[in-house]
Structure 1
Amino acid sequence: MFKKHSDKVATISSMNLSHANAICYSGYREGQNPREGIYPTYDEVKEDLLILASNWNYLRIYDCGPHAEIVLDVIRIEALHFKVMLGVDMAAEMSNPHCPWGAEFSEETLSANRQNNCNEIHKMIELSLKYDDIVFSVSVGNEASVEWTDHMVPVDRLVNYVRQIKKEIKQPVTFCENYVPWTYKLEPLVAELDFISIHTYPAWEFRTMEDALEYTKQNYYSVANHYPDKPVIITEAGWTTASNGRGIEPWNANEDLQAHYYEQLLAWTTQEKILTFVFEAFDEPWKGSSDPLEPEKHWGLFYVDRTPKLVMKDIFPRKTTHADTIVNINTKDEVA
């Protein structure tokens, strides 16, 4: 068992941040897809954020594209209380033969990706300055260094991006990544960051609910104890509610398990004052394969139709939910 960090270990209070509920937000609904340039509207994002405003204070968004700008506009225009971690959608700057689903690219593609990444960094700087009252921190990328990624970026390039960003904006800079690379590969990057952001997913690593929270703690403290002078937060942790067996056994993905993990995770992180962005707000049908039970599509605390899952039953009344609708349809068919 990993020991919890001592009082000497840096926490978010060193960045003048208070502990509060935090969640990853991406608002893509049925028929919407960032890869196809089909984004949620202002009114759809407003509907989402009004739902989330009753329970969360921090939002994490993943890029600096049209969706991100709409989110920031809604927060400002509607005078919502959210503070936002802004990200960049890094494309591969090198091929990665270790990616299970393939990540071999031509030099022409990699060169174009490097230019696109530079453009994303410039857009991040622009939005961070424009919305400096809302954007509380920025991330230079998401899962761009872990062994299996399909968008690998060399560590020295990440270091250069961080230095570039810190010359232009005042907000703290981080990088969001699986817990594994932090204790060896990313040490040069850590020296440049204001805080570390880790991801932990027990279900993806074939853990059951019996040891899920303990495994999450091990993931966290393996990094926090390695860098006692650097604040460490969690920017992704959650449990999917459906699976077709790709990476997660179907029996290990359901609403009951999600609710149990969420309850345990929040109890621990609240007690220890570890800022934790739960993954994620709403189901996203555009993700992963075309299989409707693809686990990537089902991490939301709410269904794609914005009705709450079991995990939210004590906060949001479950009137007519996605699951109830399916039951009613099946019952009607049997009666007919």
Structure 2
Amino acid sequence: MSSRKFGLNLVVVLAIAALFTGFWALINRPVTAPNWPEQISGFSYSPFQQGQFPQKDQYPTDDQMRRDLEIMSKLTDNIRIYSVDGTLQDIPKLAEEFGLRVTLGIWISPDQERNEREITRAIEIANSSRSVVRVVVGNEAIFRKEITAAELSVMLDRVRAAVKVPVTTSEQWHVWEEHPELAKHVDLIAAHVLPYWEFIPVDKAQQFVLDRARDLKKMFPKKPLLLSEVGWPSNGRMRGGADASPADQAIYLRTLVNKLNRQGFNYFVIEAFDQPWKASDEGSVGAYWGVFNAARQQKFNFEGPVVAIPQWRVLAIGSVVLALLSLTLLMIDGSALRQRGRTFLTFIAFLCGSVLVWIGYDYSQQYSTWFSLTVGFLLALGALGVFIVLLTEAHELAEAVWVHKRRREFLPVEGDSSYRPKVSIHVPCYNEPPEMVKQTLNALANLDYPDFEVLIIDNNTKDPAVWEPVRDYCATLGPRFKFFHVAPLAGFKGGA
């Protein structure tokens, strides 16, 4: 390869590498958002660690919950819990060590025995713990149709009569509009307003929360309002215009909590920590509502610009390296390619490298089980196979369209210029229109192989008016064209 051609190839590679690196930079351009405030109103808190499942009665230890409470105490003085089952009943006592106030939850479900156990235990805790400031009887129990409003009202009246702190139930905002009679049995309105579940794009979601809060205040003017769940997931399926991504979560929460603080709302951000066990109940998105991940690491920066993928530069470099490896393999036998062919293959190699790196990164951000890891490994092998086929097809296309000169596979034997390989082309046909077959034969007659033959094999065509014109036309094309009419032709299909 001449130095000029090498220089041109290098320029093309660098240009396409810059193009794809620029794309990585474009989708990760910084977005400004308000800094996280020094204090927020509160966190919804489910204390389960990765690998723990309340459905299997696997609960965190007091020490694990202590570490969680210490993290939250630096950002708020108020937490909400959802149950007093298992070791969760220890949270109010542990919260006292960190000066945290607790909104105590009673989980209501179709299991009447558990309901009674939770109510009895919650009343005891509320009357004995200094940290409990309110009690919430049920969480979306009416929305899940696990209890009627009338049945829940009886439970609310019972708990209100037994404790000294305010009592309410927590439901989605529209449930309060559908069951306004509940207001007679609570001391405050506790409503979930989660725009993601209602297909609201993130840029309209904050106003959606404020509008629903305004509506609830107007409907229940004599009752204090608690936004008992506000939040946005960082991963999961897209719902209409609502995209679950780390950047959208960061921008939404950092903006919303500042607005709610300025307007004096009481609220709980759902939630403090990711809860992978929720994926079994809410789909994959249920695992990603935390401000911290399941390993208790902060998921986004609380200050400064928000970047969709903070480590995008590393991913961009990885995609370039992968593309160059692919391109090296594609160019091993690319001496006959025109510059357009090399440019095409370079673009395809960078495209495949970027997509593979993106898929790998996206999969790495998900919580995995042994089953999902196995499936992921198999899918990775499948994706690798698909991209190998894609690169192979791209190489064949480039060789078919952008070559300086067609190469013959059979060349004269070195030292014997008289040698020419015999080329035999077989044309099977059955009941084909004679004129169509003649056009095929004309094309074959134009081949420039020095020594070739064409064998036309007619298989079981019964009408002589169809096959005899082909036979006669072969005779006019010369001795290289040999016609065979076989009826019947033995063997698979032919002898059927």
Q: Distance in 2 between matches of 1:22 and 1:220?
A: 17
How far residue 127 of structure 1 moved from its aligned partner, in angstroms, is 1.2
Q: Distance in 1 between matches of 2:56 and 2:131?
A: 28
Task: For 1:29-108, list aligned pairs within 5 A.
Answer: 29-76=49-96, 79-92=97-110
- The answer to whether the aligner puts 1:145 opposite 2:136 as a matched pair is no
Maintained 8 Å contact 2:200/2:241: no
2:288 corresponds to which of 282, 288, 298: 298
- The answer to whether the aligner puts 1:123 opposite 2:121 as a matched pair is yes
| Aligned match of 1:8 | none
Residue type of the alignment partner of 1:176: S
Q: Distance in 2 between matches of 1:202 and 1:211?
A: 9
Q: Distance in 2 between matches of 1:223 and 1:128?
A: 27
Q: Distance in 1 between matches of 2:53 and 2:302?
A: 26
SS at match of 1:312: coil
| Aligned match of 1:256 | 247
Larger helix fraction of residues = 2
How far residue 251 of structure 1 moved from its aligned partner, in angstroms, is 7.4
Q: In 2 relative to 1, CA 59–243 (structure 1 residues): closer, same or farther, beyond 3 Å?
A: same
Q: In 2 relative to 1, CA 214–128 (structure 1 residues): closer, same or farther, beyond 3 Å?
A: same
Q: In 2 relative to 1, CA 222–256 (structure 1 residues): closer, same or farther, beyond 3 Å?
A: same
- The answer to whether the aligner puts 1:283 opposite 2:274 as a matched pair is yes
Q: Distance in 1 between matches of 2:199 and 2:85?
A: 34
| Aligned match of 2:471 | none
Encode CA deviations 1:201-227: one digit per residue, 9 max, x unaligned. Answer: 111111112211111112212211101
How far residue 123 of structure 1 moved from its aligned partner, in angstroms, is 1.2
Single out whichever of 250-259 and 188-197 deviates more from structure 2. 250-259
TM-score (norm 2): 0.52
How far residue 249 of structure 1 moved from its aligned partner, in angstroms, is 6.0
Task: For 1:157-176, list aligned pairs within 5 A.
Answer: 157-176=151-170
Q: Distance in 2 between matches of 1:114 and 1:290?
A: 20
1:238 corresponds to which of 231, 236, 247: 231
1:24 corresponds to which of 41, 44, 48: 44
| Aligned match of 2:486 | none
SS at match of 2:157: helix
Q: In 2 relative to 1, CA 219–72 (structure 1 residues): closer, same or farther, beyond 3 Å?
A: same
TM-score (norm 1): 0.76
Q: In 2 relative to 1, CA 182–160 (structure 1 residues): closer, same or farther, beyond 3 Å?
A: same
How far residue 289 of structure 1 moved from its aligned partner, in angstroms, is 3.0
| Aligned match of 1:135 | 132
Residue type of the alignment partner of 1:307: Q
Q: In 2 relative to 1, CA 323–86 (structure 1 residues): closer, same or farther, beyond 3 Å?
A: farther
- The answer to whether the aligner puts 1:197 opposite 2:190 as a matched pair is yes
How far residue 331 of structure 1 moved from its aligned partner, in angstroms, is 5.6
Maintained 8 Å contact 1:243/1:250: no
Q: Which runs of 5+ in 2 are unaligned?
A: 1-38, 326-496
1:219 corresponds to which of 212, 215, 231: 212
| Aligned match of 1:178 | 172
Maintained 8 Å contact 2:235/2:244: yes
Residue type of the alignment partner of 2:233: T
Higher RCO (CA 8 Å, separation ≥ 6 residues): 1
SS at match of 2:136: strand
SS at match of 1:136: strand
Q: Distance in 2 between matches of 1:331 and 1:130?
A: 57
Encode CA deviations 1:130-176: one digit per residue, 9 max, x unaligned. Answer: 21x10000001100112xx1x52111111111111122110100111
Q: Distance in 2 between matches of 1:323 and 1:37?
A: 37
Maintained 8 Å contact 1:33/1:39: yes
How far residue 56 of structure 1 moved from its aligned partner, in angstroms, is 0.8
SS at match of 1:191: helix
Q: Distance in 1 between matches of 2:54 and 2:287?
A: 14
Query: Number of residues paired by the alignment?
Result: 278
SS at match of 1:84: strand
Q: In 2 relative to 1, CA 40–161 (structure 1 residues): closer, same or farther, beyond 3 Å?
A: same
Single out whichever of 210-219 and 271-280 deviates more from structure 2. 210-219
Q: Distance in 1 between matches of 2:95 and 2:206?
A: 33
Maintained 8 Å contact 2:201/2:242: no
Q: Which runs of 5+ in 1 are unaligned?
A: 1-18, 93-112, 315-321
Q: Distance in 1 between matches of 2:148 and 2:281?
A: 31
Q: Distance in 1 between matches of 2:59 and 2:175?
A: 32
SS at match of 1:289: helix
Maintained 8 Å contact 1:142/1:176: yes
Q: Distance in 1 between matches of 2:254 and 2:268?
A: 14
How far residue 264 of structure 1 moved from its aligned partner, in angstroms, is 2.2
Residue type of the alignment partner of 1:179: W
How far residue 288 of structure 1 moved from its aligned partner, in angstroms, is 2.2
